[in-house]
Structure 1
Amino acid sequence: MTKRRKTKRRAGPKVWLAAIALVTALFLIGDDNPQLRQGLEEMLQEVVTGESPADQQTGNATVIDGDTLDVAGVRVRLYAIDAPEAGQLCRRSGQNWACGADAGKALVSAIAGRQVTCEERDQDRYGRIVGICRAGPENLNAWMVENGWAVAYRRYGGRIYDPEEVVARVAERGIWSSEFVMPWDWRKGER
């Protein structure tokens, strides 16, 4: 029995013509139709790389808290961010405020009634999808961190949202305008 060595095939002219056609279509539609644009981007990825796009969940979203959504009946945890828990309080100007509840409200406003698409990156120990979610072109994970309603969760996402966190911290946005316990410490009982 002989083993066959896999050889990398070069993309032929048909593949390049398909890629050029898809890029042209993307250019022509711009941001006018986000759903069509997303579909074309997925097709382009498959044509160029030969790989299917990552598993995605798309639909109407309900906000569970500042880093968890229900998208068309499926729980999705936002990848690489950690928002204050729904019942978590922060302290600003000597007063407690419901920063956890406000983080959830901020996510509702960022979605603004649009359909959400989440690209699966992982699954957590509770069986939830962990993904990067978008409402239209807006990356909700990045938006939550940049606006100070979540922190970069380096333990699970590395430094992906570090720049957004620096912006929020320097501008004292959201929870960065207050004293707060990191959400992972708050869950452990540090309050």
Structure 2
Amino acid sequence: MKVRTRYVESRVCGWGPAAYAIAIAFSLFSTAGGVAAQGLPETVIGKAQIYDGVTFDLIQDGGRYRTATRIRLEAVDSCELRQKARLGNVDWPCGAVATAWLASRTLVKEVECRPTRVIPGGGYRAQCYVDAIDIAALGLGQGMYVLAVSKHEDPLPGYAEIEAKAKAASAGIWSSNFMTPADWRRANGTYNPLSPQRW
């Protein structure tokens, strides 16, 4: 399947424990054959232009023009940009916080993504790393993300345990009452003022 890549003018907006690292590395090794069979690139590397807590474009410099490849983190989800959570009697913008968290981890840094599948509309689901740190695993551990797998899928190795520890510690979003991102989208739509394209 051919994946559409957008071209943009030459400007950019702008862990864990060894056991998790080993488990995640094993996952990548065991799925490598499937990725190759789907015709996916082994890696996509660039600077991240953030749209929400789990979605961004990887910008790759090509001279006058730069390619922009849409990426959505595999197996995790975050509050939508317009979404809020409630702590006590106070609402707070969990979507904006997750978006800012991802931007703070990736701004002007090289992001390496390993695609796992093609997304309808163009782009990839992927496991992504900054300074060899798994972004999704880090976000799960800090309560920025929740697991996002269907009942027919298993989470990536280590992810369920990381989320369970974040819940137990009331980290991030787990300190508050919130609607799951999928339910929030069904109730409120997917409009994102930062994103030129959303699926």
Q: Which runs of 5+ in 1 are unaligned?
A: 1-44
The Cα of 1:135 is off from its aligned counterpart by: 0.7
Q: Does 1:158 align with 2:154?
A: yes
Q: Helix, strand or coil: the match of 2:187?
A: coil
Task: Say how many residue pairs are matched.
Answer: 144
The Cα of 1:114 is off from its aligned counterpart by: 1.4
In the TM superposition, what whole-angstrom CA distance separates every residue of 1:165-187 from its partner, at most 9, and x where no partner exists?
11111111111010000001111
Q: Which has the higher contact order (CA 8 A, sep 6+)?
A: 2
Whole-Å Cα distance in 2 between the matches of residues 79 and 159 of structure 1?
A: 9
Residues 22-171 of structure 1 aligned to structure 2 (within 5 Å): 54-72=41-59, 73-155=68-150, 158-160=154-156, 161-171=159-169
8 A contact 1:79–1:157 mirrored in 2:
no
Q: Which runs of 5+ in 2 are unaligned?
A: 1-28, 60-67, 190-199
Whole-Å Cα distance in 1 between the matches of residues 47 and 153 of structure 2?
A: 25
Whole-Å Cα distance in 2 between the matches of residues 167 and 126 of structure 1?
A: 35
Task: Tell which deviates more after alignment, 68-77 or 156-165.
Answer: 156-165
The Cα of 1:110 is off from its aligned counterpart by: 2.1
Task: Tell which deviates more after alignment, 155-164 or 108-117.
Answer: 155-164
8 A contact 1:90–1:99 mirrored in 2:
yes
Whole-Å Cα distance in 2 between the matches of residues 70 and 188 of structure 1?
A: 24
In the TM superposition, what whole-angstrom CA distance separates every residue of 1:4-38 from its partner, at most 9, and x where no partner exists?
xxxxxxxxxxxxxxxxxxxxxxxxxxxxxxxxxxx
Q: Which residue of 2 aligns with 1:183?
A: 181
8 A contact 1:80–1:158 mirrored in 2:
no
Ranges of 4+ aligned residues in structure 1 off by more than 4 Å: 51-54
Whole-Å Cα distance in 2 between the matches of residues 157 and 55 of structure 1?
A: 22
Task: Tell which deviates more after alignment, 56-65 or 178-187.
Answer: 56-65
Root-mean-square deviation (CA, aligned residues, Å) is: 2.5
TM-score (norm 1): 0.69
Q: Percent identity?
A: 29
Q: Which residue of 2 aligns with 1:14?
A: none
Whole-Å Cα distance in 2 between the matches of residues 145 and 113 of structure 1?
A: 22
Whole-Å Cα distance in 2 between the matches of residues 66 and 144 of structure 1?
A: 9
The Cα of 1:55 is off from its aligned counterpart by: 2.4
The Cα of 1:128 is off from its aligned counterpart by: 2.1
In the TM superposition, what whole-angstrom CA distance separates every residue of 1:125-167 from its partner, at most 9, and x where no partner exists?
2222110000111100111111111101121862222111111
In the TM superposition, what whole-angstrom CA distance separates every residue of 1:73-123 from its partner, at most 9, and x where no partner exists?
111000000111000011012111100000011111222531101000001
